[in-house]
Amino acid sequence: MFNMKLFISSILSLCFILPSLALAQEQNLEGPKQGHTNQNKFRQLYNEFSTPNDYRTASGAPGPKYYQQRADYVMDIKIDDETQRLYGEETITYTNNSPDALAYLWVQLDQNIRKKDSPALLKNSQSLEQVSQLSTFANNHLGDPFDGGFNIEKVTDAQGNPLPYIINQTMMRIDLPTPLQSGGQVVFSIKWWYNINNHVVNRARSGYEYFPADDNRAYVIAQFFPRMCMYDDVEGWQNYQFWGNGEFALPFGDYEVNLTVPANFIVDATGELTNRKEVFSKLMMNRYKLAKKTYDKPVMIVTQEEAEANEKTTTTKTKTWKFSAKNVRDYGFTASKKYIWDMMAVKVGDRDVMAVSLYP
């Protein structure tokens, strides 16, 4: 049976709803009001980009006054395989290419996410698994947290005078005695050490893997040194905390790195090995020379048989491997006495580069 009252009520409701929808759509198309954010999925992106200026054009390309800061490093690094510790000392030459005077510097301390009191342990903690091996459960949830943060021993200027600094979790601010002017350079040094983590147990991107069958370790080391934060025209200092699940931009620079390890270790790192004749045996040098001329297959620098024999050796002596890297943004290295090593030459444009593999 036709219900006239219900019909009239529906018509009146539509009369109120349709104008409201039209008004809402019109307001949505108008864009954001003052103090509000435009959430329209079809909005133009003008508000998302920085205003074009002398540093960056409207296309996002570098402008006529675009700049990049520079950080050059000279580092002495030592791996103590007995204690699984890394000791380091670095001298940083920081060049201020920005138009700003800098009263202080910010330095990244990524390893501080592994301090036993780091908030990252709570932020990145995992829920209990329904099924878990006993060893995994014990490592994740029982016992004292691993203490792998930086231990900063000193921060000094070029004359060896102490520089005041403040550590805020994974960031360190170094106060300069006088502001670093545009175009100027400052030289300072940092000395530190930290306990290297077992990256298999701790599920990390850097650390060592332990091989209990022969009581050896393979070290794959990154984020191991205090690194300069980025300073640019968009954000100034990028000094966000590092929680372990992100990456940061870094200034480019040259690295001169001396890596001291047990004498029976094989080492490779960012850059070019500059004292190859000092750390290679004659047989390894001959194989390397052959690899530089071989483009179709890898040449073994250290064979499996040699690696298996080497991993059984012990020594108290050390050897220093020296590397040089030009105009790179970061640094990493690997070291172990278990490594098999092969190389071959690869033609890249008009240059020959070496393709290298190391594996236990």
Which position has the higher pLDDT, 61 or 258? 258
Q: Give the range of the structural domain holding residue 26, as residue numbers without chain letter.
A: 4-48
Q: Which amino acid is at 8?
A: I
Given a cut of 80, whether residue 145 has pLDDT beyond it is: no
The answer to whether residues 165 and 29 belong to one domain is no
307 pLDDT higher than 90: yes
Helices (H), ranges, the chain: 4-30, 120-123, 134-141, 276-279, 282-291, 304-310
Position 143 confidence tier, pLDDT thresholds 50, 70, 90? low
pLDDT for 38: 72
Which stretches does DSSP call E strand in 96-230? 102-108, 151-157, 165-168, 171-180, 185-195, 207-211, 216-222, 227-228
Tell me if 100 is assigned to some domain.
yes
**Residue 99: its pLDDT value, please?**
97
Indicate whether 169 and 289 sit together in one domain.
yes
Please give the pLDDT value at position 349: 93
Least confident stretch, 86-95, 131-140, 178-187, 346-355: 131-140
CATH number, residue 333: 2.60.40.1730
Task: Note the pLDDT tens digit of each residue in 81-103.
Answer: 999 999 999 999 999 999 999 99
The answer to whether residue 53 sits within a structural domain is no
Q: Is residue 250 within 8 Å of residue 228, measured between CB atoms?
A: yes
Residue 158 vs residue 123, higher pLDDT: 158
Contact 156, 118 (CB under 8 A): no
Residues 100 and 39 in one domain: no
The pLDDT, as a whole number, for residue 266 is 97
Residue 54, domain member (yes or no)? no
Give the total number of structural domains in the chain.
2
Residue 26 has pLDDT above 60, yes or no: no
Q: Indicate if 295 and 207 belong to the same structural domain.
A: yes
